[in-house]
């Protein structure tokens, strides 16, 4: 058995390709998307929903209220004047961005609930990685004026939820908790498929579908390592694939580990930045050299530094 109370090492999957779903469904305390976020999302998805009605629903929950206010006052959307109540925040964001903000805040709560059941080191890494990927995607969207309205932030928080499921204490997928498994490589994904019957992308997509969350989240979760296989939400899947590669590169750099972004990421960067991808990755953690702090720093360097700063501000909050 791969999932359950036993501490036995994972075995090869059975002949049924979807046996892992049966095992996951047996988990007694699988974290779920919060009910208050589901209710707010149902209102936001109604065609005749008004901003006033949406604000009223959001105000029912303190966590959702704080999350929407924080997003409305973030550097991505703030126009210089701080909003102090939900009504103002909803007007600033609009229905579509509010919908995606609800998903993002709900995912944040789900992560906090799930990571309480993980090894502290893994919990810290997975939450930080998801935050950083989300902020890189949001910064790329803002700088390049990509046609997204907050779904990139929600998708960043959701893209690796399959890794959280695999790392739960009562899930016997020891492979997912190895110290050398923090960085996701083709080898990591291959071992997941061989030993678990599915990789964390497929498991994350299943989990998000089970929670009846928007389809774009499941597509990003399933295909962010193989964006060329996506059929829908192609641009968003490619964006999150790039954002995660950059987040992995940042982690590898500060830990002295070699990590090479995939060819799809390098092609994407050339297309949008028209610069050497190698030069683009010159992100120095901590106190950067003058060339990185200067106005002439490469755009991608600035994006990464901004995303890292925003992640550190939110990490642990």
**pLDDT (tens digit per residue) in 197-212:** 888 999 999 999 998 8
Q: Among 36, 134, 54, 63, which Cα is nearest to 94's? A: 54
Q: CA 166, CA 3: separation in Å to the nearest integer?
A: 9
- What 208-215 contacts at long range (C-beta under 8 Å, 24+ apart), as own/partner pairs, is 208/158, 208/161, 211/32, 211/33, 212/38, 213/33, 213/103, 213/158, 214/103, 214/151, 214/154
Q: How confident is the model at residue 280, as a pLDDT?
A: 55
Q: CA 191, CA 89: separation in Å to the nearest integer?
A: 45
Q: Report residue 233 as tokens.
A: 């939400």
* Ranges of the chain with pLDDT below 50: 1-15, 283-296
pTM for the model: 0.83
Q: Among 85, 88, 89, 114, which Cα is nearest to 102's? A: 89
Go through the domains of the chain in sequence order and give each one's CATH number: 30-314 (1.10.3210.10)
Q: How confident is the model at residue 191, as a pLDDT?
A: 82
Q: How confident is the model at residue 19, as a pLDDT?
A: 74
Q: How confident is the model at residue 290, as a pLDDT?
A: 42
Q: Among 134, 67, 141, which Cα is nearest to 98's? A: 67
Q: CA 293, CA 93: separation in Å to the nearest integer?
A: 31
Q: How confident is the model at residue 206, as a pLDDT?
A: 93
Q: How confident is the model at residue 152, as a pLDDT?
A: 94
Quick one: the chain helix, strand, coil %, rounded to 5?
65, 0, 35
Q: How confident is the model at residue 76, as a pLDDT?
A: 78
Q: How confident is the model at residue 256, as a pLDDT?
A: 85
**pLDDT (tens digit per residue) in 27-80:** 667 788 898 898 888 888 888 888 888 999 999 889 899 989 988 888 778 777
Contact 68, 98 (CB under 8 A): yes
Q: How confident is the model at residue 287, as a pLDDT?
A: 43
Q: How confident is the model at residue 181, as a pLDDT?
A: 58
Q: How confident is the model at residue 258, as a pLDDT?
A: 83
Q: How confident is the model at residue 259, as a pLDDT?
A: 83
Q: How confident is the model at residue 87, as a pLDDT?
A: 92
Q: Among 102, 134, 128, 106, which Cα is nearest to 251's? A: 128
């Amino acid at each position: 058995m791969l999932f359950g109370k036993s501490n036995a090492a994972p075995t090869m999957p059975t002949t049924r390709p979807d046996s892992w779903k049966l095992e996951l469904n047996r988990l007694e305390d699988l974290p779920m998307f919060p009910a208050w976020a589901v209710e707010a999302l149902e209102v936001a998805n109604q065609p005749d929903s008004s901003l006033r009605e949406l604000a009223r629903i959001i105000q029912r929950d303190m966590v959702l209220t704080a999350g929407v206010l924080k997003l409305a006052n973030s550097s991505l959307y703030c126009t210089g004047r701080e909003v102090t109540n939900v009504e103002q925040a909803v007007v600033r964001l609009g229905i579509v961005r509010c919908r995606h903000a609800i998903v993002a805040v709900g995912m944040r709560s789900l992560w906090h609930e799930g990571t309480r059941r993980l090894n502290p080191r893994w919990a810290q890494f997975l939450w930080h990685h998801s935050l950083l990927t989300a902020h890189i995607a949001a910064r790329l969207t803002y700088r390049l004026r990509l046609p997204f309205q907050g779904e990139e932030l929600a998708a960043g928080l959701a893209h690796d939820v399959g890794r959280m499921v695999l790392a739960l204490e009562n899930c016997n997928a020891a492979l997912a908790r190895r110290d050398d498994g923090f960085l996701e490589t083709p080898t990591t994904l291959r071992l997941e498929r061989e030993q678990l019957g599915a990789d964390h992308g497929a498991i994350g997509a299943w989990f998000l579908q089970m929670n009846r969350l928007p389809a774009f989240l499941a597509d990003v979760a399933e295909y962010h390592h193989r964006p060329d296989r996506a059929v829908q939400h192609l641009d968003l899947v490619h964006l999150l694939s790039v954002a995660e590669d950059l987040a992995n590169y940042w982690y590898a750099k500060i830990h002295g580990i070699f990590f090479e972004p995939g060819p799809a990421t390098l092609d994407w960067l050339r297309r949008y930045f028209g610069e050497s991808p190698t030069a683009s990755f010159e992100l120095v953690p901590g106190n950067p050299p003058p060339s990185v702090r200067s106005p002439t720093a490469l755009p991608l360097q600035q994006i990464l530094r901004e995303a890292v700063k925003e992640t550190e501000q939110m990490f642990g909050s």
